């Protein structure tokens, strides 16, 4: 070794593998405690993954439904206290249809109703001769013959939930309808819905001439700036309405926003609890190892290395918990979406982005939970730590 000078010591690079072995063995020392901490973190991360994937899945399903219908713009009331926009007069359809670049405009009424003894389902009233039907695939029976036909079609999930088949009857409010067909859609929200002619739904719910969505299909070749101009025109002519792009309406949907807010709120609580758990575990571990930290300081470990060791223990615990939690969350969603009560209502959407967020959250748990214990451990006085019993 070169001649030592106390004030001229070089900071050396970290021997990673050996260092990781020490960290790993520290965690295994109290295997049960480490395991319980991992389980705690896993539950927190699973809650995040499950709730966020359900909220995102909800949004995704609506976006998919609009895209499949070939809708370019959706005109609706700007604000509403209800999960679905409040109904408005269908006279707006004629005005919008007269605007430049508009090819078709379908006036729709959507609602959530409880049919007979079954749980609440989505119900759509659509004009029978409209482009919005085009993407649906009939698997049994027929489509409603016209606006006067007292018939409904059921999505495959809705048929299963309502236990109905072609030829059965369903009662909506006080009116009885015949199930004339079963259809399939790529969007869960439609698969779990009941669709009937617009006029029939308006009459059954006593909302004649009222709709809550106007789906607009634009002429082919309409340029983005022309779309923007059209949106601005609608906004100017109908100040209490707004024209959303297909994806935006789902994002602005009150129900989806509530679901997302609830998922994040619950997630934050789960994470705070998780961070406290990690801090407690790592801090206990530091207290128990005070004497050993004294040994490490005595044999020349730098304070920053002690800090890194404790922080790494915390991060490792959290990452393992996070990984387990992702799997646990995924399984939870799968189980939930197949339970009779939830079937057709939720669809988990696990994206790479969500997995990335979950891992980042686990990492943040590890860092936040380990920071204080690591600081405490690294600031120990070597003489006092060595004499600690």
Smallest gap from residue 300 Cβ to another protein (A): 3
Stretch that binds another protein, among 17-25, 52-60, 231-239, 274-282 (CB under 8 A): 17-25
Burial degree of 129 (CB within 10 A; 0-12, 13-18, 19+):
exposed
Decide whether 20 or 357 has the Cβ nearer to another protein: 20
Q: Decide: is 5 part of the binding site for another protein (CB under 8 A).
A: yes
**Can you name the residues that pair with 183 across neighbouring β-strands?**
138, 155
CB 78 within 8 A of CB 241: yes
Annotate each residue in 250-289 with x if it binds another protein (CB under 8 A) or - if it does not, as one string. Answer: ----------------------------------------
118: left (phi over 0), alpha (psi -120 to 50) or beta: beta
Give the sign of the dihedral formed by CA 12, CA 16, CA 18, CA 22. positive
Give the torsion through C-alpha atoms of 221, 222, 225, 227, to 10 deg. -150
Give the sign of the dihedral formed by CA 384, CA 386, CA 387, CA 389. positive
Tell me the pairing of strands 213-218 and 241-245: unpaired
Stretch that binds another protein, among 161-169, 228-236, 331-339, 381-389 (CB under 8 A): 381-389
Smallest gap from residue 385 Cβ to another protein (A): 10
Q: Decide: is 21 part of the binding site for another protein (CB under 8 A).
A: yes
Q: Decide: is 376 part of the binding site for another protein (CB under 8 A).
A: no
**Residues near another protein (CB under 8 A), total:** 37
Q: Decide: is 31 part of the binding site for another protein (CB under 8 A).
A: no
Decide whether 26 or 191 has the Cβ nearer to another protein: 26
Decide whether 137 or 291 has the Cβ nearer to another protein: 291
Rounded to whole angstroms, the Cα distance separating 146 from 129 reads 8
Residues numbered 186 to 245 that lie near another protein (CB under 8 A) are none
Smallest gap from residue 33 Cβ to another protein (A): 14
Rounded to whole angstroms, the Cα distance separating 322 from 363 reads 8
Stretch that binds another protein, among 11-19, 50-58, 99-107, 238-246 (CB under 8 A): 11-19
Annotate each residue in 289-318 with x if it binds another protein (CB under 8 A) or - if it does not, as one string. Answer: --xx--xxxxxxxxx-x-------------
- What 3-state class would DSSP assign to 316? helix
Which residues lie closer than 8 Å to 371 by C-beta, 6 or more apart? 311
Q: Decide: is 32 part of the binding site for another protein (CB under 8 A).
A: no
213: left (phi over 0), alpha (psi -120 to 50) or beta: beta
Q: Decide: is 89 part of the binding site for another protein (CB under 8 A).
A: no
CB 366 within 8 A of CB 325: no
Annotate each residue in 344-373 with x if it binds another protein (CB under 8 A) or - if it does not, as one string. Answer: ------------------------------
Positions that interact with another protein (CB under 8 A): 1, 4-7, 9-15, 17-19, 21-22, 25-26, 28-29, 291-292, 295-303, 305, 381-383, 386
């Amino acid at each position: 070794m070169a001649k030592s000078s106390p004030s001229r010591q070089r900071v050396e690079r970290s021997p990673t593998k050996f260092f990781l072995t020490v960290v790993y063995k520290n965690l295994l020392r109290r295997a049960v405690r480490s395991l319980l901490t991992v389980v705690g973190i896993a539950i927190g991360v699973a809650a995040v993954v499950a709730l966020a994937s359900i909220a995102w899945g909800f949004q995704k399903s609506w976006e998919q439904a609009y895209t499949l219908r070939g809708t370019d713009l959706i005109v609706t009331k700007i604000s509403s206290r209800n999960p679905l926009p409040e109904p408005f007069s269908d006279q707006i359809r004629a005005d919008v249809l007269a605007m430049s670049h508009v090819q078709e405009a379908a006036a729709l009424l959507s609602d959530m109703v409880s049919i007979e003894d079954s749980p609440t389902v989505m119900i759509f009233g659509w004009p029978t001769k409209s482009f919005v039907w085009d993407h649906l695939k009939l698997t049994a029976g027929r489509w409603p013959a016209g606006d006067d036909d007292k018939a409904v079609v059921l999505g495959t999930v809705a048929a299963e939930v309502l236990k109905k088949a072609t030829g059965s009857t369903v009662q909506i409010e006080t009116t009885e309808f015949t199930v004339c067909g079963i259809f399939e859609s790529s969007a869960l929200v439609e698969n779990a819905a009941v669709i009937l002619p617009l006029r029939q739904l308006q009459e059954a719910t006593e909302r004649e001439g009222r709709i809550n969505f106007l789906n607009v299909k634009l002429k082919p070749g309409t340029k983005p700036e022309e779309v923007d101009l059209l949106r601005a025109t609608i906004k100017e002519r109908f100040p209490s309405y707004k024209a959303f792009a297909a994806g935006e309406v789902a994002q602005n949907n009150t129900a989806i926003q509530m679901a997302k807010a609830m998922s994040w709120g619950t997630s934050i609580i789960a994470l705070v609890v998780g961070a406290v758990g990690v801090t407690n575990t790592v801090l206990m571990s530091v207290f128990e190892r005070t004497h050993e930290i004294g040994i490490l300081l005595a044999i020349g470990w730098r304070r920053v290395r002690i800090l890194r060791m404790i922080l790494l223990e915390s991060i490792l615990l959290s990452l393992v918990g996070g990984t387990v939690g992702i799997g646990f969350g995924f399984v939870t969603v799968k189980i939930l979406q197949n339970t009779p009560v939830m079937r057709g209502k939720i669809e988990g959407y696990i994206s790479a982005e969500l997995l990335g967020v979950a891992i980042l959250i686990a990492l943040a748990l590890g860092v936040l939970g380990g920071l204080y214990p690591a600081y405490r451990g690294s600031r120990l006085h070597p003489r006092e730590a060595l004499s600690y019993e």
